[in-house]
Structure formats: structure tokens, C-alpha cells
Amino acid sequence: MAGWQLVIKLLNRINMNTLLKNWHLMRVLRAGIAIWAFAEVWRTREWILLALGSVFALQAIFDLGCGPAGCAPTPSKKFDSKDSTSAEEIVYEEVK
């Protein structure tokens, strides 16, 4: 699948409310870095900044990136340490 086909597929999944609402500090900061990088590309003709600006622009537009909890994946099961009956008991076997 070509890159532009992937972008079109992504744009079809995202509605305008996602793009226009929920602008928080990190999203605005990413947009600012993208604008700065694009301005520096235009001013200095350092084309490597185009890639950097594009990454930050995509993160800002589509609200992608690591959240406040970091980049760790979310656990699949919720575990309450107070309730020991909800967790499966692990049995260890000694190997000799």
C-alpha cells in the first residue's frame, strides 16, 4: 500500500471533531514545533527539518503520541491488589 493511500485511509477514519477539539498543551506545543521547523526549512533550506516538522505536524493534527502515562502499553486486565481472589494464583515448580 502506497503512503498516500494510507494517509487517505487514516483521514477517512478521523472526523472533524477529533481535529478541532481537545487541544491541550502538548498538542499546541507539537504544532508550534512543526510551524517552527517548516519556517526554518523555508528560511535555511535545510531539508532534513522537513521530516522533523512533518512528524510533529502529524502528531499535532491527529493527536498522536505518548500520553501522560508514558509510552507503555495499557494492561489488558485490571488488577486490584486489595482483592487477592480476583488474581489467578501462580504456582511455581522447582527445577533440579
Does 50 map to a domain? Answer: yes
Structural domain including 62 reads: 22-66
Could you read off the pLDDT tens digit of each residue along the chain, which spans 96 residues?
567 777 777 777 666 666 777 788 888 999 999 999 999 999 999 999 999 999 999 888 877 777 665 565 555 555 555 555 555 677 888 888
- Res 48: pLDDT: 92
- Cα–Cα distance, 11 to 37 (Å, whole number): 23
Using alpha carbons only, give the angle 40, 44, 45 rounded to the nearest 5 degrees: 100
Does 9 map to a domain? Answer: no
- Res 71: pLDDT: 61
- Res 74: pLDDT: 53
Does 45 map to a domain? Answer: yes
| Domains: count for the chain | 1
- Res 80: pLDDT: 56
Which cell is 37 given? Answer: 521547523
- Ramachandran angles phi, psi of 67, nearest 5°: -85, -170
- Res 62: pLDDT: 78
- Cα–Cα distance, 42 to 8 (Å, whole number): 26
